[in-house]
């Protein structure tokens, strides 16, 4: 009886790409003194959403416990866009809560804030993109906490110039709009946004303040580690500066969960130092550049630095 021929073994499947191991300089020690829980309880009591929690910010314990600061996120916790990096929920948002601006102001008063940072999800379902809600929140903070400076981190309002001016007219000290990444990666990272439109938001704010004689500062932020090159980051900083941007932030992208874009590179502290020096040489009044830097990280200090520049 003849035996069947022995077939060669099938080659093993290629290994699945493994996630990069997080370096030591990105490992954060959590605060356990209780202040974090106090701030969290206040946010729940006032039914407020913070980008600190929604975006899973690595600095949340430092900011809430030691700095006693938080970045309030307006207009719910569901975004109408589908960015590849963001941990915020995506889909169809609910109705605007018209009482939210007053609750944000109440929280700012309870925290004793001297500088309040307010952002929002994208609300492309609204005619003004939520600009009126930003304006109402600025007014509420001014009434409740006189002397508190306000920073708004706004979406692009789909290029709606009137919406942008509605926010600017309330006189925030800082108008922040994040570019997020380099133009080559926009289709993958920010598929429903346009690089040129984000630059135009900052350029319009710059033209507005010049025309009004305003002391407004403009700001923008970039994530690194999504596949860009250092040269592309430097070129993007140059574009921001040409658009009249005063303050820049650069921080390491951290994948919030498996369904978001992976980290392709962890930048070293030395590389962040180089990016800071490059930005400062371009004339930015302040450049916050470091592994844990986020848009609103040390926001009050950034304003003080820019004001003294």
The pLDDT, as a whole number, for residue 308 is: 47
> Lowest-pLDDT range, 36-50, 98-112, 124-138, 187-201?
36-50
Q: Where are the alpha helices (DSSP H) in the chain?
A: 35-45, 51-54, 60-61, 100-111, 131-144, 161-168, 186-189, 195-212, 230-242, 269-282, 299-307
Does 90 score more than 60 pLDDT? Answer: yes
Burial bucket for residue 78 (CB in 10 Å: 0-12, 13-18, 19+): middle
Give the H/E segment covering residue 49: strand 49-50
Q: What is the pLDDT of residues 206-250, one digit of tens each?
A: 999 999 999 999 999 999 999 999 999 999 999 999 999 999 999
The pLDDT, as a whole number, for residue 71 is: 80
**More confident of the two residues 222 and 29:** 222
> Lowest-pLDDT range, 214-228, 264-278, 285-299?
285-299
Q: How far apart are the first and last CA of the chain?
A: 92
For residue 211, CA distances in Å to 107, 200, 246 come to: 34, 16, 17
Q: Is 158 left (phi over 0), alpha (psi -120 to 50) or beta?
A: left
Domain ranges for the chain:
30-307
The pLDDT, as a whole number, for residue 60 is: 54
Does 63 score more than 70 pLDDT? Answer: no
| Percentage of the chain exceeding pLDDT 90 | 63
> Lowest-pLDDT range, 65-74, 125-134, 159-168, 299-308?
299-308
The pLDDT, as a whole number, for residue 295 is: 75
Q: What is the pLDDT of residues 153-172, one digit of tens each?
A: 999 999 999 999 999 999 99
Kindly report the average pLDDT of the chain as a whole number. 86
CA 108-109-115 angle, to 5 degrees, is 45
The pLDDT, as a whole number, for residue 62 is: 57
pTM of the model: 0.84
**More confident of the two residues 261 and 77:** 261
**More confident of the two residues 160 and 48:** 160
Does 73 score more than 90 pLDDT? Answer: no
Contacts of 7 (CB under 8 A, 6+ apart): none
| Percentage of the chain exceeding pLDDT 70 | 79
Tokens of 105: 């102001």
**More confident of the two residues 202 and 57:** 202
Q: CA 257, 263, 269, 272 torsion: positive or negative? A: negative
CATH code, 30-307: 3.20.20.70
**More confident of the two residues 86 and 197:** 197
Do the beta carbons of residue 115 and residue 68 sit within 8 Å?
no
CA–CA dist 165, 194 (Å, integer): 20
When pLDDT is cut at 50, 70 and 90, the band that residue 46 belongs to is confident
Q: How far is residue 114 CA from its own chain's centroid? A: 20
Burial bucket for residue 237 (CB in 10 Å: 0-12, 13-18, 19+): buried
């Amino acid at each position: 009886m003849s035996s069947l021929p022995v077939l060669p073994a099938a080659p093993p499947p290629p290994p699945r790409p493994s996630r990069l191991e997080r370096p030591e300089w990105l490992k954060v020690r959590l605060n356990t003194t209780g202040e974090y829980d106090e701030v969290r309880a206040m946010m729940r009591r006032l039914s407020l959403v913070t980008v600190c929690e929604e975006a899973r910010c690595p600095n949340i314990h430092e900011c809430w416990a030691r700095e006693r600061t938080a970045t309030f996120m307006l207009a719910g916790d569901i975004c109408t866009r589908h960015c590849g990096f963001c941990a915020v929920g995506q889909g169809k948002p609910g109705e605007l809560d018209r009482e939210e601006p007053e609750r944000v102001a109440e929280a700012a008063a309870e925290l004793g804030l001297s500088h309040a940072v307010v952002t929002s999800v994208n609300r492309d379902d609204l005619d003004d993109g939520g600009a009126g809600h930003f304006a109402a929140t600025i007014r509420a903070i001014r009434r409740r906490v006189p002397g508190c400076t306000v920073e708004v981190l706004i979406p692009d309002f789909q290029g709606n110039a009137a919406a942008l001016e509605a926010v600017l007219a309330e006189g925030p000290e800082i108008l922040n709009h994040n570019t997020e990444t380099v133009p080559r990666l926009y289709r993958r990272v920010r598929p429903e946004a346009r690089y040129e439109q984000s630059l135009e938001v900052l350029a319009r704010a710059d033209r507005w303040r010049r025309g009004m004689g305003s002391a407004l500062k403009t700001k923008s932020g970039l994530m690194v580690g999504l596949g860009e090159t250092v040269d592309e980051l430097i070129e993007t900083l140059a574009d921001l500066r040409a658009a009249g941007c005063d303050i820049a932030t650069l921080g390491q992208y951290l994948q919030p969960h498996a369904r978001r874009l992976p980290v392709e590179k962890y930048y070293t502290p030395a590389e962040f130092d180089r990016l800071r020096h490059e930005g400062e040489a371009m004339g930015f009044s302040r450049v916050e550049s470091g592994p844990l830097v986020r848009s609103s990280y040390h926001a009050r200090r950034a304003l003080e630095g820019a004001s003294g520049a």
